Structure 1
Amino acid sequence: MQVKRLLITVLAAILTLPVLSQQFTDQHNQWNVANSNGWTVKSTEMYRYSGDTLILGNNYRKMVYQPDSSISTEWYYIAAVREENGYVYGVFNRTEEECLLYDFNLLPGESAYIQSIWCSGPTQVTCIDTASVEINGTSRRVIFLNDTFEERWTEGIGSHFGPLYASLYMCVTDIYHHLLCYYNDNQLLYMDPDAISCYETNVSAQQETLNHQIKLWPNPAAMELQVELPDMGSGYSGIYEAVNSSGMVILSGTTGNTLHLYINLVSFPEGIYLFRWQTYNSNITSKFIISR
């Protein structure tokens, strides 16, 4: 069943880390969203909150975004967001008119009219099913919508297309967004199961080939991880790092003219990690899991 397949994806993508908040408007939230043409990721947009604002008597969080840190490190105000009893409201920076961004109370068969940042007006969404995802004993609702894009919302996180992109594809067809990662208080709580990194950007054909050639096994791993580096034809000299879900480098080293690495995992806890290998002309990131 299609909904069950989606639920399995959600369960696999939500990490078993402590949940600090389920509020969409928690000031410590951050979303990393890939922007692509459907085939190649062009940039990674980042969204977070920066202070509060008062609009027409209502208190809002100020949402800011960064279009791509490889271009600019500046953050830009994009929307004001508030939350009340499971409803999330927004005011986009081009207007002072409030709109509904999410209704996390939806039950199967119920509909709502919500607004995406790029659509000129509200679009109707209908809940076809709901589920509950448990993370360290805390439950989040997942809402499945009946559109052709198999959209789903997770309580406190929002659409799997991105925080301001719910129902976007009812009015936009020439670009594609998807949520890569979601953080709360710098803790990684969600990572797209098909993502190799929480930050993706334009890469050359050679880089894409390298990303596909790096091999990690077994994956999931228990006590040892074996790494096979791509054959670059001119040696393998570089620096490697293993990074945990909090962004902390837990292991690093250098590679000489060697094809294989053997990484001892005995002292590391279970979870999802990133393996990074950097050389003078490449930067390769891949994901591995420690499970015992």
Structure 2
Amino acid sequence: MKRITLTLAFFLLLVISYAQEWAPLGATWYYQSVRPTDGLQWYAEIQSIGDTIIQGKHCKVLQSHGVGISNFGSEFSSFFISSGNGKVFYYNQSCNKFCQLYDFNKLPGDTFYIPTFCNNNYDSVGFIIGSVSLLTIDTTVLKVQSVTPINTPSSQYQGFPSQIIETLGSTSFLFPIHLPFSDAPYTYKLLCYTDSKIHYHYPPQDFCNTIGIKEEKTNDKIEIYPNPASLVLTIDLTDNIEVKYSINIYSIIGQKKISMNNVIGNKVTEIPIGKLSSGLYLIEITTTDGQKLMKKFIKE
């Protein structure tokens, strides 16, 4: 009986991956990144928005946007995922080829590699499968791989997974994140994932829109107008009387575009933005008393 049970469990681990669709339309991931040196937080939302064909392969189209300041996710504002037979691939737009991301056929003791640069095996991140288990979320049974890195690439990559859950992906981030050597280490975490069948939350909660929650806490302290803006953005922080603050404006991929220091808090501040390209931007205001306020705006 014990042998039969073990054989059945092994069979389930082999076949269960083929029953799950990767990135169904509307599937949404929410991630958090934290810089330990100062507690700066960044939130990312990734959503499956459609289908396309690349090099003859059926792909899911994923788009991301975030709130907060970091290089977290800057390489992947829009990307393409292909899956089949228990494997997941992402389309590397730099070298025009598909790179393997996950392989849910792997068993304990097996290894796999995630490429970090085109055609450069030395910079691939290697992992060994420590264990494989099953997790039930909303009656859906998913395979879970616990993994450990076995090599460190020459460049600084962060966001390595410790667990990879079928359909959800890494509990850190979908991809390893490239950061310059000068950047402080960040921590990464999958806060929640949702689609028509699965609702995963860590820690458990009733909602999944972390980006909206983050911005809601700061919106009442900032007034910016007009929004959208074309030439001048006006910032009103008149509640912070006699408090100086700094202003930084970032693109949605974390590039600093405008920086102002020692701005007096009891005045309305006008910022010329005519030279910015059209798109979505994040304004971060840091006061001398330690407050960090953030809000999004659109440059026409």
Which residue does 1:158 correspond to in 2?
169
Once the two structures are TM-superposed, the CA of residue 110 in structure 1 deviates from its matched residue by: 0.5
Which residue does 1:282 correspond to in 2?
none
Give yes or no for the alignment of 1:134 onto 2:104. Answer: no
Quote the Cα distance in structure 2 between the aligned partners of 1:136 and 1:55: 33
Once the two structures are TM-superposed, the CA of residue 65 in structure 1 deviates from its matched residue by: 0.4
Which residue does 2:192 correspond to in 1?
181
Quote the Cα distance in structure 2 between the aligned partners of 1:35 and 1:192: 14
- 5 Å-filtered alignment, 1:139-150, equals 139-147=141-149
Once the two structures are TM-superposed, the CA of residue 102 in structure 1 deviates from its matched residue by: 0.6
Q: State the TM-score, normalized to the length of structure 1.
A: 0.51
Which residue does 2:42 correspond to in 1?
43
Q: Structure 2: any 5+ residue segments left out of the alignment?
A: 1-18, 70-75, 151-159, 222-300
Which residue does 1:191 correspond to in 2?
201
Residue range with higher mean Cα deviation, 146-155 or 176-185:
146-155
Q: How many positions carry a matched residue from both structures?
A: 180
Cα offsets for 1:9-65 (capped at 9, x unmatched): xxxxxxxxxxxx832232221100112213625221100112222222212111110
Give the 3-state SS of the residue equivalent to 2:108 in structure 1: coil
Quote the Cα distance in structure 1 between the aligned partners of 2:163 and 2:198: 19
Which residue does 2:108 correspond to in 1?
108
Checking the alignment, whether the CA contact within 8 Å between 2:29 and 2:47 is kept in structure 1 is yes
Quote the Cα distance in structure 2 between the aligned partners of 1:138 and 1:196: 19
Which residue does 1:57 correspond to in 2?
56
In terms of Rg, which structure is larger?
Answer: 2
**What amino acid is aligned across from residue 85 of structure 2 in structure 1?**
N
Quote the Cα distance in structure 2 between the aligned partners of 1:41 and 1:105: 37
Checking the alignment, whether the CA contact within 8 Å between 1:132 and 1:139 is kept in structure 2 is yes
Which residue does 2:289 correspond to in 1?
none
Quote the Cα distance in structure 1 between the aligned partners of 2:205 and 2:149: 23
**What amino acid is aligned across from residue 190 of structure 1 in structure 2?**
Y
Checking the alignment, whether the CA contact within 8 Å between 2:65 and 2:77 is kept in structure 1 is no
Which residue does 2:23 correspond to in 1?
25
Quote the Cα distance in structure 1 between the aligned partners of 2:106 and 2:22: 16
Cα offsets for 1:88-110 (capped at 9, x unmatched): 00113433121011111110000
- 5 Å-filtered alignment, 1:194-205, equals 198=208, 199=210, 201=214
Once the two structures are TM-superposed, the CA of residue 66 in structure 1 deviates from its matched residue by: 0.9
Once the two structures are TM-superposed, the CA of residue 116 in structure 1 deviates from its matched residue by: 5.6
Give yes or no for the alignment of 1:97 onto 2:108. Answer: no
Quote the Cα distance in structure 2 between the aligned partners of 1:141 and 1:108: 12
Checking the alignment, whether the CA contact within 8 Å between 1:33 and 1:179 is kept in structure 2 is yes
Q: Structure 1: any 5+ residue segments left out of the alignment?
A: 1-20, 71-75, 208-292
Quote the Cα distance in structure 2 between the aligned partners of 1:80 and 1:115: 16
Quote the Cα distance in structure 2 between the aligned partners of 1:146 and 1:115: 16
Quote the Cα distance in structure 2 between the aligned partners of 1:136 and 1:47: 21
Q: State the TM-score, normalized to the length of structure 2.
A: 0.50
Which residue does 2:80 correspond to in 1?
80
Quote the Cα distance in structure 2 between the aligned partners of 1:155 and 1:84: 12
Checking the alignment, whether the CA contact within 8 Å between 1:78 and 1:92 is kept in structure 2 is no
Which residue does 1:268 correspond to in 2?
none
Give the 3-state SS of the residue equivalent to 1:51 in structure 2: strand
Quote the Cα distance in structure 1 between the aligned partners of 2:105 and 2:178: 20
Quote the Cα distance in structure 1 between the aligned partners of 2:44 and 2:84: 26
Identity among equivalent positions (%) equals: 20
CA distance 1:173–1:54, shift in 2 (3 Å): farther
Cα offsets for 1:198-235 (capped at 9, x unmatched): 4164879xx9xxxxxxxxxxxxxxxxxxxxxxxxxxxx
Checking the alignment, whether the CA contact within 8 Å between 2:137 and 2:199 is kept in structure 1 is no
Quote the Cα distance in structure 1 between the aligned partners of 2:95 and 2:67: 24
